[in-house]
């Protein structure tokens, strides 16, 4: 505690007041004594008291009336009325006042009375501790997407604060006075929320996750101890992990997508090796067998056929290699690789590429060049598959911080809203490549209005030194 628990005794029985003062000071309390209301008002004007013991009948005023006057001076003081003239009417009048917490009759049961004072001290200490901690955390909590709450031993909320309350459509301290069971609308003992709070109240900190108003919360609750090290309540903290959960889901989806893409690429390579390269090798083997078992005059003819098969086989292997990764991307850089790809693309699909560029003559980091090449490659594949146009526009420009690539067609377009983010189409692959570089992709499209893809791939020029260029 910052200071000792202070009490004020207001009683015109000097002997009783003096004896009470001695007993309470032996218990470690700071005690002041007044024998009338006027003196009590003067003491309260100078100091704040945690608890006041007031005789019901004083020489200059009634004890309950004095409580009302002192409340204006010491708003946080609580009061115990003591009297030797107990009656039902006086008891009802006393307990009607909010600040009066007890009504004791003379002679006092000292053991019971001291226990009551200790309870008040412990509760007020806990309240002061909570207010102090709340004040220290208030500034941070107002700017952090989290929620802090405290509750007493009856699982009744005594505070709630934090910027995270807004997402739950709650105001600070809106749930104060309500119990955990009222807020969670559950009495299920196996509920993770209730189970965690009960475990914490038993002395073991607990962590759990919950969902509220569409938000995912990671919560931690632990005991709040009083000055004697005993559990006076609980304190809990909840962090909004909705975005983290969403990122984890996206990462898992991306991982699955990458595995699917790898398997798809492997199937394509295996199919091409089996259907084309395998057939050429079989034909070549047949020709070589013929050469081995043919008379000399026919060897020349069979050799020419075999040479033609070898040439076709070499062409297929070269095309497969270029489709997997053109060597000029590594040897010459992004610009020559794009120009080569556009020429080959137009020859194969009869779709002309209108290409404009700026800042591509300097070497770019290898990962950025690769991502840009694959994004253009995937976008052009989508154009020939879906757009139905005979021309597409490609623009690429680089500054000191990022490479920008824009692919636009005037084709049939599509509805972006109905396309799932985890779609197996080329669009998700484009997004994933940009995301791996902390980049971003903007796609605008509509039925009958064409499609535009703009990718921004950030980089540092120092990356080129680290990766050895593109």
pLDDT in tens, 36-88: 999 999 999 888 899 999 998 899 998 888 988 898 888 788 999 888 776 66
Q: Are residues 256 and 384 in the same domain?
A: no
Counting residues of the chain whose pLDDT is more than 90, the rounded percentage is 34
Query: Are the C-beta atoms of 148 and 137 separated by less than 8 Å?
Result: yes
The stretch 189-201 carries a mean pLDDT of 90
Q: Has residue 423 got a pLDDT over 70?
A: no
Q: Is residue 58 part of a domain?
A: yes
Q: Are residues 393 and 406 in the same domain?
A: yes
pLDDT in tens, 344-391: 899 989 999 999 999 888 888 988 999 999 999 989 988 988 888 999
Single residue among 323, 353, 379 that ends a domain in this structure: 323
Question: Looking at the DSSP assignment, which residues form a beta bridge with residue 53?
Answer: 9, 80
**Number of structural domains in the chain:** 4
Q: Has residue 17 got a pLDDT over 70?
A: yes
Q: Has residue 324 got a pLDDT over 70?
A: yes
Q: Are residues 98 and 162 in the same domain?
A: no
Per-residue burial over 83-117, b = 16 or more CB atoms within 10 Å of its CB, e = otherwise: beeeeeebeebbeeeeebbbbbeeebeeeebeebb
pLDDT of residue 351: 93
Q: Are residues 88 and 155 in the same domain?
A: no
Q: Is residue 1 part of a domain?
A: no
pLDDT of residue 233: 93
Give 467's pLDDT tier (boundaries 50, 70, 90). very low
pLDDT in tens, 167-179: 788 888 888 999 9
Residue with token string 């076709």: 312
Q: Is residue 122 part of a domain?
A: no
pLDDT in tens, 88-141: 666 666 666 777 888 888 888 899 999 999 998 888 888 888 777 767 766 776
pLDDT in tens, 133-166: 767 766 776 777 788 889 999 999 998 888 888 8
pLDDT of residue 462: 60
Backbone angles phi, psi at 82, to 5 degrees: -120, 140
Residue 333: give its domain's CATH number.
3.30.565.10
Give 24's pLDDT tier (boundaries 50, 70, 90). very high
Q: Are residues 213 and 334 in the same domain?
A: no
Q: Is residue 446 part of a domain?
A: yes
Q: Is residue 288 part of a domain?
A: yes
Range of the domain at 163: 127-240
Q: Has residue 420 got a pLDDT over 60?
A: no
> How far out from the chain centre does Cα 175 lie?
23
Higher pLDDT, 393 or 135: 393
Q: Are residues 254 and 329 in the same domain?
A: no
Q: Is residue 191 part of a domain?
A: yes
Residue with token string 């309870």: 119
Measured between alpha carbons, how far is 54 from 67 in angstroms, rounded to an integer? 8
Q: Is residue 117 part of a domain?
A: no
pLDDT of residue 91: 61
Q: Are residues 191 and 258 in the same domain?
A: no
Single residue among 194, 215, 240 that ends a domain in this structure: 240
Give 1's pLDDT tier (boundaries 50, 70, 90). very low
Q: Are residues 350 and 286 in the same domain?
A: no
The stretch 285-294 carries a mean pLDDT of 83
Residues 6+ apart with CB under 8 A from 39: 10
pLDDT of residue 94: 61
Q: Are residues 338 and 418 in the same domain?
A: yes
Q: Are residues 336 and 314 in the same domain?
A: no
Largest CA distance in the chain: 144
Measured between alpha carbons, how far is 294 from 287 in angstroms, rounded to an integer? 10
Residues 6+ apart with CB under 8 A from 42: 34
Residue 10: give its domain's CATH number.
3.40.50.2300
pLDDT of residue 326: 77
Q: Are residues 332 and 430 in the same domain?
A: yes
pTM of the model: 0.46
Q: Has residue 30 got a pLDDT over 60?
A: yes
Give the residue among 347, 312, 344 at the shortest CA–CA distance from 328.
344
Single residue among 210, 240, 270 that ends a domain in this structure: 240
Q: Is residue 116 part of a domain?
A: no
């Amino acid at each position: 505690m910052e200071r000792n628990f202070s009490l004020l005794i207001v009683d015109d029985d000097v002997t009783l007041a003096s004896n009470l003062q001695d007993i309470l000071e032996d218990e470690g309390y700071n005690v002041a004594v007044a024998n009338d209301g006027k003196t009590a008002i003067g003491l309260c004007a100078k100091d704040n008291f945690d608890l006041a013991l007031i005789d019901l009948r004083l020489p200059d005023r009634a004890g309950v009336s004095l409580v009302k006057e002192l409340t204006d001076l010491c708003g946080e003081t609580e009061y115990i009325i003591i009297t030797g003239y107990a009656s039902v009417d006086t008891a009802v009048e006393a307990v009607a006042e909010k600040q009066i917490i007890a009504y004791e009759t003379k002679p006092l049961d000292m053991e019971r009375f001291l226990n009551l004072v200790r309870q008040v001290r412990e509760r007020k200490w806990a309240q002061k501790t909570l207010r102090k901690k709340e004040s220290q955390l208030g500034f941070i909590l107002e700017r952090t997407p989290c929620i802090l709450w405290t509750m007493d031993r009856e699982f009744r909320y005594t505070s709630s604060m934090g910027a995270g309350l807004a997402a739950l459509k709650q105001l600070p301290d809106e749930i104060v006075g309500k119990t955990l069971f009222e807020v969670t609308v559950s009495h299920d003992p196996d509920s993770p929320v209730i189970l965690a709070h009960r475990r914490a109240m038993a002395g073991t900190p607990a962590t759990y996750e919950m969902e509220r108003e569409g938000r995912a919360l990671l919560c931690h609750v632990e005991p709040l101890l009083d000055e004697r090290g005993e559990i006076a309540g609980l304190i809990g903290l909840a962090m909004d992990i909705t975005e983290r959960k969403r990122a984890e889901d996206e990462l898992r989806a991306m991982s699955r997508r990458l595995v699917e893409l790898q398997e798809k690429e492997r199937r394509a390579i295996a199919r091409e090796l089996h259907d084309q390269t395998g057939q050429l090798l079989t034909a070549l083997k047949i020709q070589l067998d013929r050469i081995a078992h043919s008379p000399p005059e026919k060897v020349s003819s069979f050799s020419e056929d075999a040479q033609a098969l070898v040439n076709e086989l070499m062409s297929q292997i070269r095309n497969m290699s270029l489709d997997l990764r053109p060597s000029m991307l590594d040897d010459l850089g992004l610009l020559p690789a794009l120009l080569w790809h556009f020429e080959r693309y137009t020859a194969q699909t009869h779709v002309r590429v209108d290409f404009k560029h700026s800042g591509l003559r300097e070497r770019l980091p290898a990962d950025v060049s690769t991502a840009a090449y694959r994004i253009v490659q995937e976008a052009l594949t989508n154009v020939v598959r879906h757009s139905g146009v005979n021309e597409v526009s490609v623009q690429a420009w680089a500054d000191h911080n990022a490479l920008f690539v824009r692919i636009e067609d005037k084709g049939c377009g599509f509805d972006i809203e109905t396309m799932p983010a985890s779609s197996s189409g080329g669009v998700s692959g484009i997004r994933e490549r940009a995301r791996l570089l902390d980049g971003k992709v903007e796609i605008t499209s509509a039925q009958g209005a064409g499609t535009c893809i703009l990718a921004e791939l950030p980089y540092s020029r120092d990356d080129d030194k680290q990766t050895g260029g593109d």
